[in-house]
Structure 1
Amino acid sequence: MEAVKQGFTTVGVKSRDSVVLVALTTASESSVAMSKIIAIDEHLGISIDGISDNDRVLSSYLRLSCINYRYTYETGCPVKRLIASLGCNMRATIKRCDGRPYQVDLLVAGYDKTGPQLYQVMPSGVIHTCQAQSIGEHSQGARTYLERHINTFLSCSDDQLICHALLGLQNSQPVEGTSSGQENAPVIFTTTVAIVGKDQIFKLLTAEEVEKYIEMAKEMGATAQPQLPSNPDDEGDNEDDTDPQPDVATMEN
């Protein structure tokens, strides 16, 4: 899926109590392929890479499902149930559209009575449960970082978890001022951070909070001395048009 490949990198990481989403976005929404983090309900949010029209359709579906469930049961919709319903809806739509999948890839972060949950929803509607994952352009660099530190995430504090997600994102950043989808066009990148967890409703951090965590991540990265990919622009050149492989800490399908 070319549009999914061109969306900028987004990273999701889960600890025992929280889930963090971090995305590299653009200040302008003029690009067809894009990345963004969207709040769905107080216990749930998504990070989405791909076609902007598709993201509106899917986020509206999730919001309406949450509203209906909360109205009926006076509580938040169980995350696993909601994502299973989304996957079924996506697969049914594909069948109605002559096999054409959605041109988006999603990371879903939520918290309910079963604890924190992180899912990857593929363009085909296939769902994977993850401890950590990265999607979008140059995401292999982030996955390399996540794989290297996967055993530390469960015991992380919220601050540490956010810093790890930011360091993963750092490993995937494109060359400053350009994007492969818009050659010769200046691009202003913005880092977006969101968290949800125990005693923490889904929250998008302010610009000031993000800057604070970026500085904390720099200090943490200097101590850990993570290795950056030698040439992230070469990553993904040999990918085909099938769903990307969820090769970071996928615990069940």
Structure 2
Amino acid sequence: MFRNQYDTDVTTWSPQGRLFQVEYAMEAVKQGAACVGIRSGNYVVLATVNKAASELSSHQRKLFRVADHVGVAFSGLTADGRVLSRFLRSECINHAFVYEAPLPVSRLALRLADKAQVCTQRSWKRPYGVGLLVAGLDETGAHLYYNCPSGNYFEYQAFAIGSRSQAAKTFLERRYEGFNKYTPEQLIKDALSAIKETLQGEKLTSSNCTIAIVGRRDDGTVEPFQMIDAERIQAIIDSMEAAEEAPAEPSSTQEEDKSSDAAAPMDI
């Protein structure tokens, strides 16, 4: 059986300049359950697919609250995601204890990236096989970051990771220009639509997706990170399906054209 001699540890580079263990970790993210994040000027919405290993088991939770102002969704190895979510909670608690203020989201994403990057340069470690969408609110507004197993991190207006995430990215790329002015309800609807794109024919219901939101109202009141209950999600899904099934009303110009065609004499 062929054995790759360059993937025995994470510090061995191939002749082409590749770290295979890091690539394996990034592949684990691609094979995980899909996650979607969308942000406007004051709100961030996270959505995940609830995918069970078998019909006899429950799904594994992929969406976690870190603090009142920040939460994470992840795709990949659930065990690694839980470890990193606990690390993020500790960072937020320690910062709040020392400075009596919430930890900025950009600094939290940076600390997470540093922790992941250390695992790519120690031979006795392995990369975390999980990618995280970090959504939060601070004094500078709403933020959405993607943290990669390689230690890279990027800020996005909207992003999707996990299995069949390319379909969700295509949907988001067509609509991202208007996200800054979206209301929370519109963000949730687009997040559900993006999740629906990843299901490929499977019916979207409140039982196979999870939604969370954090943001600030127009009056300055902060809405802490919270999961949206299943009843509200199902009501939004039902309204979306009803809007899709409703027939389009003919415009007034089309009606005038039809009436003029009916009244026109026949040429002989």
> How far apart, CA to CA, are the structure 1 residues paired with 2:239 and 2:138?
29
AA in 1 matched with 2:37: G
- Aligned with 2:175 (options 149, 153, 162): 149
1:6: how far off? Answer: 1.7
CA contact (8 A) 1:35 1:47 kept: no
Counterpart position of 2:36: 11
- Aligned with 2:214 (options 193, 196, 204): 196
Q: Deviations over 1:75-118 (max 9, x none)?
A: 21111011101101110122124674211111110000010000
> How far apart, CA to CA, are the structure 2 residues paired with 1:154 and 1:103?
32
CA contact (8 A) 1:10 1:35 kept: no
Q: Which has the higher helix share?
A: 2
Pick the structure with greater CA Rg: 2
CA contact (8 A) 1:5 1:137 kept: yes
Q: 1:190 to 1:157 in 2, by over 3 A?
A: same
- By relative contact order (CA 8 Å, sep 6+), the higher-ranking structure is 1
AA in 2 matched with 1:102: Y
> How far apart, CA to CA, are the structure 2 residues paired with 1:145 and 1:220?
18
2:174 partner SS? helix
> How far apart, CA to CA, are the structure 2 residues paired with 1:140 and 1:208?
28
The worse-fitting range, judged by mean Cα deviation, of 121-130 and 21-30 is 21-30
Instruction: Please list, as runs of the form range in 1=range in 2, the aligned pairs for 1:145-224 lying within 5 A after superposition.
Output: 145-174=171-200, 176=202, 190-198=208-216, 199-219=222-242
Q: Which has the higher strand share?
A: 1
1:52: how far off? Answer: 1.6
> How far apart, CA to CA, are the structure 1 residues paired with 2:61 and 2:161?
10
Q: 1:214 to 1:55 in 2, by over 3 A?
A: same
Q: 1:76 to 1:170 in 2, by over 3 A?
A: same
Q: 1:144 to 1:212 in 2, by over 3 A?
A: same
Percent of residue pairs bearing the same amino acid type: 38
Q: CA RMSD in A?
A: 2.6
Counterpart position of 1:96: 122
Q: 1:122 to 1:112 in 2, by over 3 A?
A: same
Give TM-score scaled by structure 1 length: 0.77
1:153 partner SS? helix
Unaligned runs of 5+ in 1: 178-187, 226-253
Unaligned runs of 5+ in 2: 1-25, 217-221, 249-268
1:12: how far off? Answer: 0.4
Instruction: Please list, as runs of the form range in 1=range in 2, the aligned pairs for 1:65-144 lying within 5 A after superposition.
Output: 65-97=91-123, 100-144=126-170
Q: After the TM superposition, list the runs of 4 or more consecutive aligned residues in structure 1 that deviate by more than 4 angstroms.
A: 27-31, 219-223
Q: Deviations over 1:143-193 (max 9, x none)?
A: 01000111111111000111011111111114549xxxxxxxxxx962100
The number of aligned residues is: 213
CA contact (8 A) 2:137 2:214 kept: yes
> How far apart, CA to CA, are the structure 2 residues paired with 1:220 and 1:161?
16
